[in-house]
Structure 1
Amino acid sequence: MLATFLAALVLTTTGPDDFTTGPQITDFGPNALVDAEMVIPEGFIFRHSFDFAAEADAGELNRNLVSAARFLNMHVRAGVPVENLNLAIVVHGVGVHDVADATIYAGRHEGAANANAALIAQLVEHGVRIYVCGQSAAYYDVATANLLPGVEMALSAMTAHAVLQAEGYTLNPF
């Protein structure tokens, strides 16, 4: 039924103007509807994780967080029920600053506001699990109390990935 619906749509994806945010994460995660030939099996349950260690430039969005929002949005737009989308993000290295509170972030970036805070709030609101490598956080003097709401401290990124893999999560390869 979903494939029939999508096949009936007339798509004219011609470039960047065809990308919009939503429908799940309304302000982030631009995506385009695609007339895909690869069928997502009906009832398929996604368990997918993202990993990043890079931080964005001061005051900019972290492209890895945007990718997670895009993943949610494009699959919901393609007809995958939101309850079938389970996402996790594992953050390590200097990337821990992008999921830290205003004090830590501003201290690292000459007073800049953390543009990622609103995106993280929407991701968490939509069930995305975000874990910080405790080893990286300790190295950069970021305490559990310094993390944005909904972001959780793990013992390490390696630990978080091992647990997620045991729960059936695949790792995004890029």
Structure 2
Amino acid sequence: MKLRFNISILALCIVMSGQVSAGAIEEFGRYYEIDLAQPIAEEVNFRVAFDVADSAETGSFSPYINSAARMNNMLLGHGVSEDRIQLAVVIHGSATYDVQRNTVYQQRTGEANGSAPLILALIEQGVRVIVCGQSATHLGVTQEQLIPGVEMALSAMAAHAQLQQDGYTLNPF
């Protein structure tokens, strides 16, 4: 019985629009298609920051970082144009390891960095990925060890303060 339930949940999680929107992050960010009773107004712009402190399970991609891909794809899939979406992911704490180059991550864990393809796809889409310099320094992670395109900030606190001044809201989950 439990196996059938898990397969059903898996099948539901795979449901997504049959069309892939321009700018969608195809391998990540699955969402449900919703018939909107209240459509998203055309004048609404989405400048959203995500805060990620917990690392992914070794070898897996981060479900927390994947939230940014999900929001990107969900908005595109429901008619929001690419130019109205600006996302940022602020990484700190143990999640700092998720933005390490695969070779560095693999030396530390013995497994590939499952979040690396997600990080690269986000950056390619224009999502800012910002790592806390305080966490990186504390964990011994240098700028050279980061996936290309990941930005190093003074701290996660400073990054969030700057993003808020630039009009970004903080996604609560």
TM-score (ref. length: structure 1): 0.87
How far apart, CA to CA, are the structure 2 residues paired with 1:70 and 1:50?
12
How far apart, CA to CA, are the structure 1 residues paired with 2:54 and 2:93?
7
Q: Which residue of 1 aligns with 2:94?
A: 94
Is 2:70 aligned against 1:73? no
Q: How does 1:72-151 map to 2 (within 5 A)?
A: 72-109=72-109, 111-151=110-150
Q: Residue 19 of structure 1 aligns to a residue in which SS?
A: coil
Q: What letter is aligned with 1:51?
A: D
Structure 1 unmatched runs, 5+: 1-13
Q: How does 1:1-174 map to 2 (within 5 A)?
A: 15-19=12-16, 22-23=20-21, 24-109=24-109, 111-174=110-173
Asked if the contact 2:17/2:77 (under 8 Å) is kept, the reply is no
Structure 2 unmatched runs, 5+: 1-10
Work out the number of aligned pairs and report it.
160
How far apart, CA to CA, are the structure 2 residues paired with 1:68 and 1:49?
8
Asked if the contact 1:20/1:30 (under 8 Å) is kept, the reply is no
Deviation of the 1:117 alpha carbon: 1.2
Q: List per-residue Cα deviations over 1:41-67 (Å, max 9, x = no partner).
A: 113111001001100111101001211
Q: Residue 65 of structure 2 aligns to a residue in which SS?
A: helix
How far apart, CA to CA, are the structure 2 residues paired with 1:149 and 1:81?
27
How far apart, CA to CA, are the structure 2 residues paired with 1:123 and 1:115?
14
How far apart, CA to CA, are the structure 2 residues paired with 1:118 and 1:96?
15
TM-score (ref. length: structure 2): 0.87
Deviation of the 1:17 alpha carbon: 4.6
How far apart, CA to CA, are the structure 2 residues paired with 1:95 and 1:45?
28
Asked if the contact 2:17/2:33 (under 8 Å) is kept, the reply is no
Per mean C-alpha deviation after superposition, the further-off stretch among 25-34 and 134-143 is 25-34
Deviation of the 1:126 alpha carbon: 0.7
Deviation of the 1:149 alpha carbon: 1.0
